[in-house]
Amino acid sequence: MTVVINMRDGMDGRKIKIAAKFILEGKLVAFPTETVYGLGADALNEEAARRIFEAKGRPADNPLIVHIADFDDLKKLAREIPDEARLLAEKFWPGPLTVVLPKKEEVPTVTTGGLDTVAVRMPAHPIALALIRASTPIAAPSANISGKPSPTLAEHVIDDFYGKIECIIDGGETKIGVESTVVDLSGEKPTLLRPGGLPLEEIEKVIGEVEIHPAVRGKLVDVARSPGMKYKHYSPNAQVIVVEGPRENVRKKIEELVKEYRKKGLRVGVMATEQYDADEFFHLGTSEEEVARNLFKALRELDKRRVDIIIAEGIEERGLGFAVMNRLRKAAGYRIVWA
C-alpha cells in the first residue's frame, strides 16, 4: 500500500511529519523539488539507500544525490569544502545546483555508487526543505523507473511506483522540469558533469571557466561520477528522433519524416515549439523555460497516446537549452537527424 499525501494547496506540517516518519524508518518517499520529483530515503542509512536502487532498477554504480536543507549539513557529508563550493552555495542554494565533493566516511558507499565523492544539493521547494528538516539528509534520484523519462507530476510517480514504495507527496507540477546542474569540485578544475536547471553561464559568472566533461557530449565513460553520465536515460517506449539544424530546415525535415513514417504504417508523434500535422502533437511552449518544464511530460504523454515514433524539434544550446538538448539526445539514444 502506498500512502499518497496531497499537498497541492501548500505546506502542511502534520503531513510533513507523516512523510518524515517514513524516511526515519528507512522507507521510501517520493516528493517534489523545483526540478523533478525525487525518490527519497535516508542518505546515511545503507539499507534505505539500497532500497532506492532496488525500486528503480538502478545500477549500483550510478551515484545518488544527497539533498540537504542547511549549509551546515554539507559539513557532515563532505570531507573538504573548497571556496568554489561556498561561493556557489551562497549564490545558488537553495536551487537546482549539485556539487560533487570528497565524502566523509559517514556517507555509505551505497549512496555514492562506490565513489569516494558525494553529490549534494539544497532544493528550492518548501515541501522538500520541510521534509529534510523534519528527518535527515535525503538521498534522492528522480522518482522514475531507471532509464525512463523523469517525473514532473505526482501522477508520473504513481504510474511508476504505486504499490512499490511507502509514500508519495503530491505537490503539483514541478517548476523547472529538468534535473539539477552537476559540477564536480573534487578535482583540480571545476567540471560540468551534467547540464541542468541552472545554466552553465550563470555558474561561470561566479567561479570562472568550468570544463565540460566529455560525457555531457555523449562520450561513453567507465565510471559515472554523476547521475546521467553512463547509462541510458529519459527514454520513453517509443523511438525518439531529434531533428537539429537551422529552424527553417528543421521544419521541412520534420514534415518529411512524418510523411515517411506514416507511409510505413507507423503512428507518429511530434513534440515541438510550433504546430505540426502528425498523428499526435505536443506543444512544448516557446521559451526555453517552457520547453524544459514540458520536456519529460511530453515524452510520457506521447507514450500514453501509443505512438511508435516521437520526432523532437531541437532547440538552441543556450541557457536551459543546453540541459534540454542533453536530455533529448539521451532519450533518442543519439539518433539525430541534421536538417
| Rounded CA separation 327/204 (Å) | 21
The candidate with the shortest Cα–Cα distance to 291, out of 318, 317, 272, 266, is 272
Average pLDDT, the chain: 95
DSSP sequence for 231-271 = S--S--SSEEEEEESSHHHHHHHHHHHHHHHHHTT--EEEE
| Annotated binding residues | 35, 58, 62, 67, 117, 121, 140, 142, 150, 180, 194, 234
pLDDT (tens digit per residue) in 34-62: 999 999 999 999 999 999 999 999 999 89
pLDDT (tens digit per residue) in 229-285: 555 567 899 999 999 999 999 999 999 999 999 999 999 999 999 999 999 999 999
CA separation, residue 251 to residues 165, 295, 296 (Å): 43, 19, 22
pLDDT (tens digit per residue) in 169-181: 999 999 999 999 9
| Annotated binding residues for ATP | 58, 62, 117, 150, 194, 234
Q: Domains of the chain by range and CATH?
A: 3-217 (3.90.870.10), 239-338 (3.40.50.11030)
Give yes or no for a contact between 246 and 230, defined as CB atoms under 8 angstroms apart: no
The candidate with the shortest Cα–Cα distance to 33, out of 148, 118, 157, is 157
Task: Indicate yes or no: pTM above 0.85.
Answer: yes
What confidence score (pLDDT) does residue 53 get? 96
What does DSSP assign to residue 35? Answer: S
Residue 125 has pLDDT above 70, yes or no: yes
Side chain identity at residue 110, one-letter code: V
Side chain identity at residue 157, one-letter code: V
Give yes or no for a contact between 72 and 61, defined as CB atoms under 8 angstroms apart: no
Three-state SS for 282? strand
Give yes or no for a contact between 299 and 151, defined as CB atoms under 8 angstroms apart: no
| Residue pointed to by grid coordinates 568550468 | 210
What confidence score (pLDDT) does residue 231 get? 56
Beta-carbon contacts of residue 42 (< 8 Å; ≥ 6 apart): 23, 24, 26, 48, 49, 135, 136, 137, 138, 139
| Rounded CA separation 42/52 (Å) | 10
Give yes or no for a contact between 158 and 116, defined as CB atoms under 8 angstroms apart: no
Of how many residues is the chain composed? Answer: 339
Q: Whole-angstrom distance between the N-terminal and C-terminal Cα of the chain?
A: 49
Give yes or no for a contact between 64 and 51, defined as CB atoms under 8 angstroms apart: no
| Annotated binding residues for L-threonine | 35, 67, 121, 140, 142, 180
Residue 114 has pLDDT above 90, yes or no: yes
The candidate with the shortest Cα–Cα distance to 21, out of 47, 46, 3, is 3
